[in-house]
Amino acid sequence: MKGKAQRSRVKLGVPLLIIVCSLFFFAGLFLSPLLFHFQDFGEVGRRRLLQESASKEFGKSGEPFLHSIPFQILSWRPRIVYFPNFTTDDVCEKIIEMAKPKLEASKLALREGESAENTKGTRTSSGAFISASEDKSGILGLLEKKIAKVTMIPRSHGEAFNILRYEVRQKYDSHYDAFDPAEYGNVQSQRIASFLLYLSNVEAGGETMYPFEVKYGIHQHLVDNFHGMKDVEEVN
């Protein structure tokens, strides 16, 4: 019986030794950082550590300051993203003044068999194309940079700004911003995205509607208060 009792104690002793060693190991692992953290460096030492931490650079954003642009996804099919307050009222007013002397009747790309006469009611606005390089104030250049950031499309892929004015009862019928070569022939460039920046606010009208949204049960209007590619519209 004594031999059996001794063997039993030996069997119990090995697992117990492993458990005790494990407890000491984990205690040292977790307690040593805490002890180091609360070590007294003195007031000067603590201040130096805070200063060093504050001066570290954790990567650069590519801009002189952090700049977030809020957005809301209105639809995935078609993909429509809304950027509220994309720019300021002052910038909008300056763009309007810049475009006013250059406005003329908006033109329309014609399909085979179409003419200016049988399509004259399709688009009744007036407009002007202005490139950022023409704008000495730099406003359009800054807008291009911001548009490139939110769309993730390089500035070099963009067109000149198409600044449009719609007066009462003027409109542009439903259309595509890209050209089907089978209908229009070969074109020099194709739009992969359009960015609409509304330059004025009105009590009623002035919205842009995407008719195919209705099919997907979304039916979302982009209203004229959309301060927020190149189709830049002034709604009057």
Over residues 47-68, the pLDDT tens digits come to: 444 444 444 444 444 444 446 7
Quote the CA–CA distance of 139 and 145 in Å, as a whole number: 10
Yes or no: say if 98 and 130 are a contact pair by the CB < 8 Å rule: yes
Give the closest residue to 85 by CA, choosing from 206, 225, 189: 225
Give the largest CA-CA distance in the chain. Answer: 117
First to last CA, the chain: 106
- Whole-model pTM: value is 0.63
- 183-226 residue pLDDT tens: 888 887 788 899 999 999 888 888 888 877 654 444 444 443 33
Sign of the torsion formed by the C-alpha atoms of 113, 233, 69 and 158: positive
pLDDT in tens, 133-179: 999 999 999 999 999 999 999 999 999 999 999 999 999 998 888 88
Is the pLDDT at 229 greater than 50, yes or no?
no
Q: What are 205's two structure tokens?
A: 């009208």
pLDDT score of 25? 56
- The distance from CA 148 to its chain's CA centroid, rounded to whole angstroms, is 9
Please give the pLDDT value at position 26: 54
* pLDDT grade for 15, boundaries at 50, 70 and 90: low
Q: Which two tokens stand for residue 92?
A: 């909008």
How big is the chain by its Cα radius of gyration, in Å? Answer: 33
Contacts of 17 (CB under 8 A, 6+ apart): none
Contact (CB, 8 A) for 152 and 192: no
Q: What is the mean pLDDT of residues 90-106?
A: 96
